Amino acid sequence: MGRRKFMGALAAAGTGAMAGGLSVSPSAHGDTVHFPPSSYLGGAGPFRSECDIRDCDVIGEIPTNIDGAFYRVGPDWQYPPMTGNIPFDGEGHVSMFRISNGHVDFKSRYARTQRYKAQSAARKRLFGMYRNPFTDDASVKNISRGTANTHIVYYNGKMLALKEDSPPVVLDPLTLETVDDYYTFHGELASLTHTAHPKFDHATGEMISFGYEAKGLASDDVLVFSADAQGHITWQTWIKVPYVGMLHDFAVTEKYVAFLCVPMATNVERMKQGQVHFAWDSMLPTWFGVLERGGDGKDLRWFKGPERCATHVMGAFSEGHTLYVDMDMALKNQFPFFPNLHGEPFDPKAASGYLTRLSVDLSKKDIREYSMERLYPQTGVLPRQDDRYQTKPYHVGFMPTTDATKPLNPKLGNLPFRPTNSYTRFDHATRSTSQFYIGDASSLQEACFVPRSENAAEGDGYLVGVAHRLLEGGRTDLVIVDTQHMEDGPVATVRLPFRSYSQVHGWWVPASQLPKM
Ligand code: V55
Ligand code: FE
């Protein structure tokens, strides 16, 4: 039998899928899961792998006073995104480094959000563009859009995985299993949304939080509240924003709550055209709003400022009637994937973040503007503090920084951005800095602070944070740096045998606060 005849006989003996003598392969009707090629980290694409590693590879020695778990979360596509969608819309993927006695166990799990479960059951993407319900499949109308991809905090024995367009998603702190896909504080949450950046007052045991666009898409209502350590809401009040936009982080002191309204404006018209939720409107001012904790929303005061972009608070405190809020602040839009409304090209220089102190003296009844002071020359984003000092006077902070005086590794070729090559420790008491530089071929993500001991002085301990190794396809390491010896390099490095997804934020939980196994 000739080859041709043999093939024909095979086809005839097959499923009967013959059309005019030609065999036709059964079709998946376009539902094949295939991710478009990406330039991200050498085209590696999304991570998507849920895994466990017992006893990770460790270089150096992890001090045994580090006992607890480092959690991180970031977006990681579950299914191929709609054309033009942005990284901020990937499904929340959480990883945990459990560190004890110099050993590290690693675990990573997707948050089982309502959205994740619906898409998993359908085996395809059902949600369209970032925070744009107009682009969703009709079948998901009543399913939460929350991706749980932005921040993860420990509260009331639960890991809360957070996305600012929806209520928290609760994960078990030891197994990372999702135990509640829509957490509403015993049903007491009056907002449809919850920020990714609640604050903790360790003196009162409260979590202070808020939700914006709280009454539905593009609503100008913001719910501000605090909850006790058992998850019951103890104070709440409503405020209105001067314009609707990304209210990403906020500031809480012993006395005040403050918001910075920046021109990353919510744009329903563009959403209806199939675009993402926000566009940068450079014609808008910034507004700094201050309210007393426990107060009534009608007493909120707004102070005006010029066009600025500031997303995260390092720390905040009040002295008498004066409020200080430290943020990483840039002149213009810092997010290249959120378009400029008036057609200006993205300006990387104007997007550089500088630690800036916003202040206002609330005893003055006639002032209309807030004050700004640039504190340091370093540029970066994602500042953090020793979280034990949230709401209290503080003087130590940390930020991933890009030291432009350091060389670029020539083997990296042309990168769209300079890698984040350092962690800087800032001491506001002396306005001095120290720096951990990771070298010319790695890019650092946000770091979390680990106190050296429960009663260690402010900022005395370690930074933990992950780095992508850019000459190894983005392979991921956890680096551990002593905050008293930043220049000495990592005391230990935990090597993962793969490239993980990029993190947005992370959280440290000491072993003393974790449930027992
Ligand atoms: C941020 C991240 C988000 C988001 C809004 O870092 C703001 C800021 C990962 O998603 O939706
Ligand atoms: Fe954030």
Which pLDDT band holds residue 417 (cuts at 50, 70, 90)? confident
Per residue in 158-192, pLDDT (tens digit) is: 999 999 999 999 999 999 999 999 999 999 999 99
Instruction: Tell me, in angstroms, the distance from the centre of ligand 1 to residue 100's CA.
Output: 31
Q: Is 310 in the pocket of ligand 1 (CB under 6 A)?
A: no
Taking the C-alpha atoms of residue 418 and residue 380, their distance in angstroms, rounded to an integer, is 11
Going from the Cα of 97 to the center of ligand 2, the distance in angstroms, rounded, reads 20
Ligand 1 near 248 CB (within 6 A): yes
The tens digit of pLDDT for each residue in 393-407 reads 999 999 999 999 999
Summarised one tens digit per residue, pLDDT across range 437-463 is 999 999 999 999 999 999 999 999 999
What domains does the chain contain, in order, with CATH numbers?
Answer: 59-513 (2.130.10.10)
Nearest residue to 380 (alpha-carbon basis) of 431, 464, 451, 447? 447
Residue with CA at minimum distance from ligand 1 atom 4: 88
What pLDDT score does 23 carry? 76
Provide the pLDDT for residue 292: 98
What are 188-222's pLDDT values in tens digits? Answer: 999 999 999 999 999 999 999 999 999 999 999 99
Collapsed DSSP state (helix, strand, coil) of residue 256: strand
Mean pLDDT of 367-382: 98
pLDDT at 3 over 50: no
Is the pLDDT assigned to residue 21 strictly greater than 80?
no
The pair of three-digit structure tokens given for residue 96, joined into one six-digit string: 């945990």
pLDDT value at position 7?
39
Indicate the SS3 state at residue 297: helix
Q: HSE, CB side, 13 Å, CA atoms: give it for residue 245.
A: 22
Query: Which atom of ligand 1 has the smallest separation from the CA of 163?
Result: 11
Q: Residue 427 and residue 397: Cα distance in Å, rounded?
A: 7
pLDDT of 11 > 90? The answer is no
For ligand 1, say whether the CB of 338 is within 6 Å of any of its atoms. Answer: no
Rg (CA), the chain: 24
Q: What proportion of the chain, given as a percentage, has pLDDT over 90? A: 91
Per-residue pLDDT band for 45 (boundaries 50, 70, 90) equals confident
Signed CA dihedral, 309, 313, 314, 318: sign only: positive
Does any ligand 1 atom lie closer than 6 A to the CB of residue 195?
A: no
What sign does the dihedral 509-515-516-517 (CA atoms) show? negative
pTM here is 0.94
The answer to whether the beta carbons of residues 160 and 149 sit under 8 Å apart is no
Helices (H), 338-396: none
Please give, one letter per residue, the 3-state secondary structure of 71-129.
EEEEEECCCCCCCCCCHHHCEEEEEEEEEECCEEEEEEEECCCHHHHHHHHHCCCCCCC
Amino acid, res. 256? Y
What is the CA(304)–ligand 1 centre distance, in A?
Answer: 24
Measured in Å, residue 30 CA sits from the centre of ligand 1 at: 31
To the nearest whole number, what is the mean pLDDT of the chain? 94
Strand-pairing partners, residue 265, are 245, 279
Question: Closest ligand 1 atom to the C-alpha of 248?
Answer: 7
| Mean pLDDT (whole number) for 281-310 | 98
List CB contacts of 235: < 8 A, sequence separation 6 or more. Answer: 225, 226, 293, 294
Tokens of 339: 């378009």
Closest atom of ligand 1 relative to the 87 alpha carbon: 9
Most confident of the following: 8-22, 35-49, 472-486: 472-486
The C-alpha atoms of residue 272 and residue 486 are separated, in whole angstroms, by 49
Residue 346 has pLDDT above 60, yes or no: yes
- Measured from the alpha carbon of residue 212, the closest ligand is 1
Residue 506's nearest CA partner among 41, 134, 96 is 96
Nearest-atom index, ligand 1, CA of 381: 6
Q: What separation in Å is there between the alpha carbon of 195 and the centre of ligand 2? A: 9
Residues 220 and 264 sit within 8 Å (Cβ to Cβ): no
Q: Is the minimum distance from the CB of 149 to ligand 1 under 6 angstroms?
A: yes
The 10s digit of each residue's pLDDT in 96-123 is 999 999 999 999 999 999 999 999 999 9
User: How far does residue 251's CA lie from ligand 1's centre (Å)?
Assistant: 17
pLDDT of 29 reads 64
Structure confidence at residue 511 as a pLDDT band (50, 70, 90): very high
Which among 214, 234, 230 is positioned nearest to 222, based on CA atoms? 214
**By the 8 A CB rule, do 82 and 64 touch?**
no
Whole-number Å distance, alpha carbon 150 to ligand 1 midpoint, is 6
Q: Name residue 20's beta-bridge partners.
A: none
